Structure 1
Amino acid sequence: MASMSKITTFFNDNAESLAVEIVESVLRSMKIVIPEVEKEQAIKMYIEFFGFLGESLTEKKDGVPEDLIIWSKKNAEQQISSGGKISEIAVRYPPTRRIFAELLTRICIEFGLSLKENAYMIKKVNEMLDLSLNETIFTFEYLANSYREKAQREIAELSAPIVLIKEGIAVLPLIGMIDCYRATYILEKVVPDIANLHIQYLIVDYSGILTIDADIAKYLRQIGDILLLLGINVMITGLRPELVITVVNSRIDMSAIKTFANVKQALEYIE
């Protein structure tokens, strides 16, 4: 225990120089250059890391320092905002573990610690690095899902705009690929907006649709039924042969909805 107390004192007295050594060694080992501000953040985090490690050796303290958690989350946030991959962060951990092991072994030899004490210190460091890596990955996945959902909402809004072209007549041009998310968006967001327009005719144009499967075709047919029940005359335009084949193979009854080759023909019919 006396030797561990000396190590704790050593870590507290030399935390900054040890932190700089770790950061510089990892960057040199991986042959990478990071912005100076990121380098300073890493050094600041490792200063607290060594202080926490020293306390954990003498006080049997578990967990990780708060700065390590904050730093791990920031790494994930920076990767998301820059469009980077989580692997670019994960690959830094193996050389960090190796450099820590070499540093701690050197210190243990200088202070005359046993192999068991050396192994214990390396174990503590690995546990802290494991928690850091887990926090980075969890934060990255959470943010990635949030960004993905935001992008889906934005795409859904752009892919199903309601265009009021005349009094009582609107066009709903469907654009891109319709999946379950966008079909649900149309049902929950677009249909109520259409109902609030108090229109008589809605022309649903499929000419911008890349592809749909049988399930989505049935979903869109249900949306059409809802609009019909709201008293809106629904017309379909722009069905390409491959889309027609999907509808026919799905055995969807389209007899209640008039279809036209294009929007112009549908408008001529209405007039």
Structure 2
Amino acid sequence: MNLVFNVSNHLIDNAESLAEEIVDGVLNRLKLEIPLWEKEQALEMYIDFINFLGDSLFVDEEKVPESLIEWSKNNAARQVSPKGKISEIMVRYPPTREIITDIMTKISLNFGLSLEDFAFILKRINNMLDISLNETVFAFERLSDNYKKKTQRELAELSAPIVLIKKGVAVLPLIGIIDSYRANHIMKKVVPKVAELQINYVIADFSGILIIDTDIMRHLHQIGQMLNLLGIQTLTTGLRPELAKTVVNSGIEMSEITTFANVKQALDSIHQY
């Protein structure tokens, strides 16, 4: 145990230089270039990591430093973007394990540690790295879900904006891929807004829709019926042949829908009333 005590003191006394060896080693092996602030954060974390490891060699309970958990979560947060990949963080763990193992092997040999004590220290190190990896993945998944939901809300708002073109007349350009979430957004957000604006005619323009299925077509038809019940006449434009086929396949009666080739034709028909 005295030898383990000596190793513990060595880790704590040399935490800064050992942290530099770990960080520089990982960057060199992966040929990575990272911003100075990110490298400084990694150095601070590994200094805490090594100090914590040194102190933990005399504690039965396996824990990890809070700085490691926070660092892991921050790494995940930086990857939550349209082009972010959690793999960019995960690939750093294997070389990190190898470098720390090499460092501890040299230290253990220098201090004459038994195989049992060496295995004990490696187990502590691997446990800390495993928890860090898990926290990184869990944080990434959680933040990604939140990011996707936020993006979904923003896209829903952009995919069905109400455009007031004159008093009592508005265009509802349907854009992109309309799914159940966006159809629900139109029903809960757009329909009440149309009623508030005291609009008499809504021109639902389908020319910007990429994909739509029969279930979503039924939802949109129900939205049109809701508007009609509110005294708002709905005119449909931009139904391409493939969209018209979807309408037919959905079982919606085409005679109930007032359709025009484009928005201009719909506007011209309104002027005739």
* Common fold: TM-score over 0.5: yes
How far does the alpha carbon of each residue in 1:29-52 deviate from its partner, in whole angstroms, 9 at most, with x for none? 222222222111111111111111
Which residue of structure 1 lines up, in the alignment, with residue 215 of structure 2? 215
Which residue of structure 2 lines up, in the alignment, with residue 89 of structure 1? 89
Which residue of structure 2 lines up, in the alignment, with residue 4 of structure 1? 4
C-alpha separation in 1, matches of 2:79 and 2:184? 31
How far does the alpha carbon of each residue in 1:216-247 deviate from its partner, in whole angstroms, 9 at most, with x for none? 11111111111111121111111111101111
SS in structure 1 opposite 2:228? helix
Instruction: State the Cα distance separating 1:118 from its structure 2 match.
Output: 0.7
C-alpha separation in 2, matches of 1:65 and 1:83? 30
Which residue of structure 2 lines up, in the alignment, with residue 138 of structure 1? 138
Taking only aligned residues, the RMSD between alpha carbons, in angstroms, comes to: 1.6
- Amino acid in structure 1 at the alignment position of 2:134: N
Which residue of structure 2 lines up, in the alignment, with residue 179 of structure 1? 179
Which residue of structure 1 lines up, in the alignment, with residue 52 of structure 2? 52
> How many percent identity over aligned positions?
59
Matched, 1:263 2:263: yes
Q: 1:173 touches 1:205 (CA, 8 Å); kept in 2?
A: yes
Q: Structure 1 residues 82 and 124, CA, compared in 2 at 3 Å: closer, same or farther?
A: farther
- Amino acid in structure 2 at the alignment position of 1:102: D
Q: 2:248 touches 2:254 (CA, 8 Å); kept in 1?
A: no
Q: 1:27 touches 1:33 (CA, 8 Å); kept in 2?
A: yes
Instruction: State the Cα distance separating 1:110 from its structure 2 match.
Output: 1.3
C-alpha separation in 2, matches of 1:266 and 1:35? 56
C-alpha separation in 2, matches of 1:30 and 1:267? 61
Instruction: State the Cα distance separating 1:132 from its structure 2 match.
Output: 0.7
SS in structure 2 opposite 1:80? coil
Unaligned residue ranges in structure 2 (runs of 5+)? none
Equivalent residue pairs, number: 271
Which residue of structure 1 lines up, in the alignment, with residue 119 of structure 2? 119
Instruction: State the Cα distance separating 1:81 from its structure 2 match.
Output: 5.3
C-alpha separation in 1, matches of 2:266 and 2:26? 67
Which residue of structure 2 lines up, in the alignment, with residue 190 of structure 1? 190
Which residue of structure 2 lines up, in the alignment, with residue 25 of structure 1? 25
Q: What is the TM-score normalised by the length of structure 1?
A: 0.94
Q: 1:55 touches 1:61 (CA, 8 Å); kept in 2?
A: no
C-alpha separation in 1, matches of 2:188 and 2:204? 17
Matches within 5 A, 1:197-208: 197-208=197-208
Matched, 1:16 2:16: yes
Q: Structure 1 residues 81 and 263, CA, compared in 2 at 3 Å: closer, same or farther?
A: closer
How far does the alpha carbon of each residue in 1:59-109 deviate from its partner, in whole angstroms, 9 at most, with x for none? 224221011111111212222359331101101100111111111111111
